[in-house]
Amino acid sequence: MHPILRSIVSVLAGILGGFVILAGVEFANAALFPLPAGLDLEDAAAVKQALAHAPLASLILVIVGWCLSALLGAWVAARIAHASKVLHGMIVGIFLLGAAITDLLEFPHPLWFWICGLLIFLPAAYIGSGLALGKGGQQ
């Protein structure tokens, strides 16, 4: 496969893998901590109000999901990439960080959540990329 095409495929696969992890965590979060009964999901203000009162465990689960999505998404990208494996994983981490920032701006979150959310993606992506390198792997 041409190196540029391999790079594109690796990053897209990593992003897709990250979003699959996010979807799974969000599904689990919704099952464990359902929104209030009768909440009108079309009413943005009501949804924001409900999310503002989310339990601490729900918020922690989201942070864990964000971390796993960056870690595994970067791992997938680095495994597929032929060269510059860490770079490909970090691109995935940056993309997922951008998606998280969009979420942070759209819904109310406590300050600690902002800090953790902004700080988790790049280290997790770096670790995921490193895990994909394995012993004697190349960067």
Is residue 118 very low, low, confident or very high in pLDDT (cuts 50, 70, 90)?
A: very high
Q: Is residue 23 part of a domain?
A: yes
CB of 85 within 8 A of CB of 139?
A: yes
Classify residue 99 by burial, with Cβ atoms within 10 Å: 0-12, 13-18, 19+. middle
Q: Is residue 41 part of a domain?
A: no
Q: Is residue 110 part of a domain?
A: yes
Q: Is residue 39 part of a domain?
A: no
**Rounded CA separation 108/122 (Å):** 22
Q: Is residue 17 part of a domain?
A: yes
Give residue 66's pLDDT.
Answer: 97
Q: What φ, ψ does residue 41 adopt, rounded to 5°?
A: -70, -10
Taking alpha carbons only, the member of 127, 1, 134, 18 closest to residue 76 is: 18
Classify residue 66 by burial, with Cβ atoms within 10 Å: 0-12, 13-18, 19+. buried
Q: What is the pLDDT of residues 89-98, one digit of tens each?
A: 999 999 999 9
Q: Is residue 63 part of a domain?
A: yes
Q: What is the pLDDT of residues 19-69, one digit of tens each?
A: 999 999 999 998 999 988 888 878 878 888 888 888 999 999 999 999 999
The percent of residues in the chain predicted with pLDDT above 90, rounded, is: 67
Q: Is residue 42 part of a domain?
A: no
Average pLDDT, the chain: 90
Three-state secondary-structure class, residue 123: helix
Identify the domain containing residue 89 by its residue range: 3-33+49-133
Number of domains making up the chain: 1
Number of Cβ within 10 Å of residue 81's Cβ equals 24
Q: Is residue 61 part of a domain?
A: yes
